[in-house]
Structure 1
Amino acid sequence: MFKRILTVCIGNICRSPTAEYLFRQRLAPRDIQLSSAGLGALAGHSMDTTAMQLLAEHGIDGAAHRARQLTPAMLREADLVLGMEKSHVDAMVRLAPEASGKIFIFDKWLQGRDIPDPYRQQRVAFDHVYGMITQGVDSWLRYL
């Protein structure tokens, strides 16, 4: 049983917090801790404006989010860690090899694709990524 789920990207202001908040919405009645972090986090920053706007359009308030830098301790403490890209998974395994058995690509149950970074791109890129993250979250629900 997964009690602590961590989603990871680079800056922790677009993809991983979007996944975190979508998981929060879908798993609200369950006793699961959800968090996110970044391999090169813009620590202390709020979510990207467009990412937060997309969540708001779907009834989710991401205003409380503040970016956090990923640490080896976070990887060890989590029961499941989901990286947005294969390179993120590789970097996390290097950071905490002892946690490698619980680190997976976010898109594992679909096509195993990287979720592209929409940072500093047009709204259409954020829409595309939001759709991919929504599908990814939904694909994990049966295993949680």
Structure 2
Amino acid sequence: MINKVLVICIGNICRSPMAVALLRHHAPHLQVESAGLRACVGEDMDSLTAQVLADNQVPRPAHAACQLTDEQVRWADLILVMDQRQLRSITDTAPHTRGKTFLIGKWRDDFEIDDPYRRPIAAFQRTYTELTRCIEGWLPYLSSEDRQR
């Protein structure tokens, strides 16, 4: 069963913190963390990420951007990435992750989430909508034991 989910993007300030908030909101039984491949270490989530979460009444998690570590990779039952490039980067660097690393858009025809960084709020709203749809695709596979019975 999947209990621990790690969400990866590049800077760990836009897409992955938004995905963490959505996963925690829709699947509170999961432990969900995030990291970046080239993280803006120590930074809070982008202010537009926080605004879009607030506009949609999704609780904002505490956040400080962090660089992806081997420890996080070992901790996770499932690793979700935003695009094919990130998927290749992780699975090439750590081949043992191939069976647990997937596009967040896997159940939406391998949909990739564009980075809204330094773009207007409309890009962040689009990211929110896309992440919501992608996460909805994962929910049947992330159900708690009680829900599966």
- Does the pair score TM above 0.5? yes
Distance 1:95 1:52 in 2: 31
Q: Deviations over 1:38-93 (max 9, x none)?
A: 00000110000001100011222326111110012211220000000110011111
Identical pairs, percent? 41
Distance 2:17 2:63 in 1: 7
Say which is worse superposed, 101-110 or 67-76, in terms of deviation: 67-76
Distance 1:125 1:47 in 2: 15
Q: Deviations over 1:85-135 (max 9, x none)?
A: 110011111222111110001100012121000000011111111110010
Select the residue among 52, 55, 73 that pairs with 1:54.
52
Count of residues paired in the alignment: 142
Instruction: Name 2:85's counterpart in structure 1.
Output: 87
Instruction: Name 1:5's counterpart in structure 2.
Output: 5
Structure 1 residue 24 corresponds to structure 2 residue 1: no
Do 1:52 and 1:61's aligned partners in 2 also have CA atoms closer than 8 Å?
Answer: no
What's the C-alpha RMSD, in Å, of the aligned pairs?
Answer: 1.1
Change (3 A) 1:106 1:63: closer
Do 1:11 and 1:40's aligned partners in 2 also have CA atoms closer than 8 Å?
Answer: yes
The one-letter code of the counterpart of 2:11 is G
Do 1:39 and 1:69's aligned partners in 2 also have CA atoms closer than 8 Å?
Answer: yes
Distance 2:93 2:67 in 1: 12
Equivalent residues in 2 for 1:38-117 (5 A)? 38-62=36-60, 64-117=62-115
Distance 1:55 1:3 in 2: 23
Distance 2:129 2:96 in 1: 32
Distance 1:127 1:121 in 2: 11
Do 2:35 and 2:66's aligned partners in 1 also have CA atoms closer than 8 Å?
Answer: yes
Distance 1:77 1:40 in 2: 20
